[in-house]
Structure 1
């Protein structure tokens, strides 16, 4: 695990020429090769991908992809009416863990909202900003490997858009259980990759059916499911969590909905998908499903065309699921 923290405060003798990596970081003069390794990114068809644990994540980490992540953060904020979470974590959490933090925007906002907490964001790519709240740190790690966090460390664990990233969700939730304090909360925010409609506007031959099936098939091929949005609640219960609450939401594919909130979400979703489908799908299509680059581009063009059709009342369903580790915290898997 590689950790990097905010620069030291001025009274700690911070030199502007110094790295933003903390004193306990593995990235220093003696590990220059390792530092270089994680930032010597892989390039495929003009898109940039992480090099550390190459291939573990399907999406690029270039500026275009990072902007898409920040746009998604805005959409989740709209979805949750300005809230960063739904789990009742109280006003004084001490340790918060954000898994798959991406650009770190959620972790940074949480650090601002909860100055009592140390917020740790974990990702495969060091794409987070250097200047962040003093109670926010970022670590480079693969969260699908065995964790090194102590038992009962975190008050709250946050997971968002890890679909297609986790090979064994049950084992992953067991590790979350182990590292949560008794009474601590876990929250999982995911959406479907298969558009649906509640009326007859999305016929059986609509391209959205093909689109969704291709994404789900790529998950099956890679062994990392894209359907976790509908499985989170049951998997958390099986892991021993209690007080499981599931909230549903919808993201229209464009601005077809007359409902003001859904209309705004749909416009943002159309903008996000129209500009982001290549990043979302290119590696899955070419590396996982072994399509040619040209075939992949035709598929992506069909998706962009579908997004411009307001006659189809399609949306992506999603869920926010939160649950608590009981005070009597013996896991059902250890009894």
Structure 2
């Protein structure tokens, strides 16, 4: 996949081809509350820490998350991570695990590892690899895991989830083993184009502007794709590396690989836009449900318009916890 500086060629063909265990979790005593999901405007949301996260936890949104996992595999050439971890990691944490699909794949691929996935919602499957477990936990609260314990901490799509990123990154640093890695993948919420087909005042331009405004008013930035590298560096990680890609929205690209990932991404957006916006638009901006549905109808029309050559940016950043200094006892 081309890097962020590369302009994606447009396909002239107008047809689409298919293509820690030291501390007991306080959540065990809250099981009934955790499972008492909240319903708003026809969508299901988490009950534990209600309102802390804007996304639904229902089947429709689970499908969106799983589609994005497939897109990430395409972007990363089938890899689950890019951080240069050891061949046989022992302890891995996936924060904000969502459907748990990344953690499941990682546990299958690395049977040496004990993998833990955490989320506000207990919606992950029960049939999982024996070296994987899921826990309900809020990663924006003080972490209860043993410090210096994980070889890899993985995070994906935490945009709009964290009010205090500096504290989050310090927690990740503290809970990695010396020499361990933290890796974060994020996507932009702002559609762009290289040929000005995303025009000022268009529904795509409105989507980006309104989304950023929603994050700011909610108190949890949706600019994470552009902010993660600086935050990880400021926390004290070393050997920080950032990869960036342009991810087409739709099958308009001439390059076969870009076309495939763009077609998947259009489905991803069609599946995700209601869940991404409904809670915040109705609670933060006080839009009516009818106003939201008109807005989303315009978005769905634009998503199918091959004259609009929109893409979003994706960033993957990893950093390493400084190794423990050598002492005379090491000789």
Matched residue, 1:270: 266
Residue in structure 2 matching 1:211, options 204, 207, 220? 207
2:88 counterpart SS class: coil
Cα RMSD over matched residues? 1.4
Matched residue, 1:84: 80
Matched residue, 2:320: 324
CA contact (8 A) 1:192 1:318 kept: yes
Residue in structure 2 matching 1:52, options 34, 48, 63? 48
CA contact (8 A) 2:159 2:223 kept: yes
Matched residue, 1:100: 96
Segments of structure 1 that go 5 or more residues without pairing to the other structure are 1-23, 330-335
Matched residue, 2:296: 300
Matched residue, 2:167: 171
Deviation by residue 1:134-181 (Cα, 9 ceiling, x = unmatched) = 110111011111111121011100010000000111110011011011
**Alignment partners' CA distance in 2, 1:80 and 1:250:** 13
Pair 1:231 & 2:231 matched? no
1:196 counterpart SS class: coil
**Alignment partners' CA distance in 2, 1:328 and 1:319:** 29
Q: How do residues 270-289 of structure 1 correspond to structure 2 at under 5 angstroms?
A: 270-289=266-285
Residue in structure 2 matching 1:123, options 108, 119, 123? 119
Query: TM-score, normalised to structure 2's length?
Result: 0.89
Matched residue, 2:60: 64
**Alignment partners' CA distance in 2, 1:130 and 1:239:** 35
The list of structure 1 runs, each at least 4 consecutive aligned residues, that deviate by more than 2 angstroms after superposition, is: 24-28
CA contact (8 A) 1:250 1:262 kept: no
Query: TM-score, normalised to structure 1's length?
Result: 0.88
Residue in structure 2 matching 1:249, options 232, 237, 245? 245
CA contact (8 A) 2:189 2:211 kept: yes
Deviation by residue 1:176-218 (Cα, 9 ceiling, x = unmatched) = 0110111000001001000111112222222211101111111
Matched residue, 1:191: 187
CA contact (8 A) 2:61 2:271 kept: no
Greater length-normalized contact order (CA 8 Å, ≥ 6 residues apart): 2
